[in-house]
């Protein structure tokens, strides 16, 4: 009995000792603007005055991807870049410009409108796709972007990386020269190298590229089982290589590795030229 009591006491002491051990800090480096204190903001700005702006939407990305895929992909990629090249990630936008058409007195936007050949296997009737809630006119988007750029410049940043929703990114690219002169910033996006091979950042719509990226960055949000199992039936609102046949987290990680190396080099070079 005494031996059992002794063993029990030892186990209790071991348990108390393990509970008293300090918990290791497993938090990663803070790079999100909204999470920084003023001191942390000043430190990161001094190290690398680079701002990252995720150009997101709340938009249909097939039945299998989250509605916020654009912003989620760019935000997560920007977090990777900020931890490697320095800088601070702004909160992601969810409003953006896109094509617009009125059909049967109903406004349709973006992927609501099928723009390909009617005989294509990708064809689907133009319709209001569930969940899309993002459209803004180009005039309003420009006003919003210029208000943001003014604040980015005022805060002390020298470089802005803006990427995400295709029409939003294209609009920024088209106005880069004008805005760089007006706001004293160097403005970058992430399109370029290997885009034609589908190995860029967000270069299709909910197909192989975007699906692979979300699989790699936020796998818990991907629901491939929501797509038709029969690959002869094309998923509505998906543009690019069939994600059921070509998408994978391994492909997503390969894309991220290629583009992170490229973008970090570009950001560092750009930053060196403005200091």
Domain ranges of the chain: 28-274
Q: Give per-residue pLDDT as tens, 217-268.
A: 999 999 999 999 999 999 999 999 999 999 999 999 999 999 999 999 999 9
Give the long-range contacts of residues 146-150, CB within 8 A, separation 24 or more: 146/179, 146/182, 148/53, 148/90, 149/179, 149/182, 149/183, 149/185, 150/183
Distance in angstroms (rounded) separating the CA atoms of residues 206 and 201: 12
CATH code at 28-274: 3.40.50.10310
- Using 50, 70 and 90 to split pLDDT, how confident is the model at 4? very low
Q: Give per-residue pLDDT as tens, 207-217.
A: 999 999 999 99
Q: Give per-residue pLDDT as tens, 188-198.
A: 999 999 999 99
Q: What is the DSSP string of 25-76?
A: --PPPP-BGGG--HHHHHHHHHH--EEEEEE------TTTS-TTHHHHHHHH
- Using 50, 70 and 90 to split pLDDT, how confident is the model at 7? very low
The pLDDT value given to residue 17:
42
Whether the pLDDT of residue 95 is over 80: the answer is yes
- Using 50, 70 and 90 to split pLDDT, how confident is the model at 118? confident
pTM over 0.85: yes
The pLDDT value given to residue 20:
39
The pLDDT value given to residue 27:
53
Q: Which residue has the higher pLDDT, 27 or 264?
A: 264
98-120 mean pLDDT: 92
The pLDDT value given to residue 37:
98
Read off the tokens for 237: 């609102």
SS3 223: coil
């Amino acid at each position: 009995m005494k031996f059992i009591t002794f063993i029990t006491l030892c186990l209790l002491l071991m348990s108390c000792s393990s509970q008293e051990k300090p918990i290791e800090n497993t938090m990663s480096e803070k790079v999100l603007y909204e999470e920084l204190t003023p001191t942390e903001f000043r430190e990161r700005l001094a190290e690398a005055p680079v701002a990252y702006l995720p150009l997101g939407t709340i938009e249909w990305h097939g039945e299998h991807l989250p509605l916020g895929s654009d912003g989620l992909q760019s935000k997560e990629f920007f977090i990777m870049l900020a931890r490697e090249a320095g800088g601070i990630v702004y909160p992601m936008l969810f409003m953006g410009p896109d094509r617009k058409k009125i059909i049967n007195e109903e406004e349709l936007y973006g992927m609501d409108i099928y723009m390909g050949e009617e005989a294509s296997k990708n064809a689907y009737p133009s319709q209001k796709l569930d969940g899309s809630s993002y459209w803004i006119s180009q005039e309003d988007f420009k006003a919003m972007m210029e208000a943001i750029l003014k604040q980015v410049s005022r805060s002390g940043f020298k470089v802005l990386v803006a990427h995400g929703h295709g029409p939003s990114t294209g609009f920024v690219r088209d106005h880069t020269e004008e805005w760089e002169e007006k706001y004293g910033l160097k403005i970058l996006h992430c399109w370029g190298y290997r885009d034609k091979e589908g190995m860029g950042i967000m270069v299709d719509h909910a197909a192989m590229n975007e699906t692979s990226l979300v699989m790699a960055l936020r796998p818990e949000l991907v629901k491939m089982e929501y797509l038709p199992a029969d690959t002869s039936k094309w998923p509505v609102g998906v543009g690019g290589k069939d994600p059921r046949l070509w998408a994978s987290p391994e492909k997503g990680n390969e894309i991220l590795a290629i583009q992170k190396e490229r973008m970090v080099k570009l950001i560092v070079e750009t930053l060196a030229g403005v200091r």
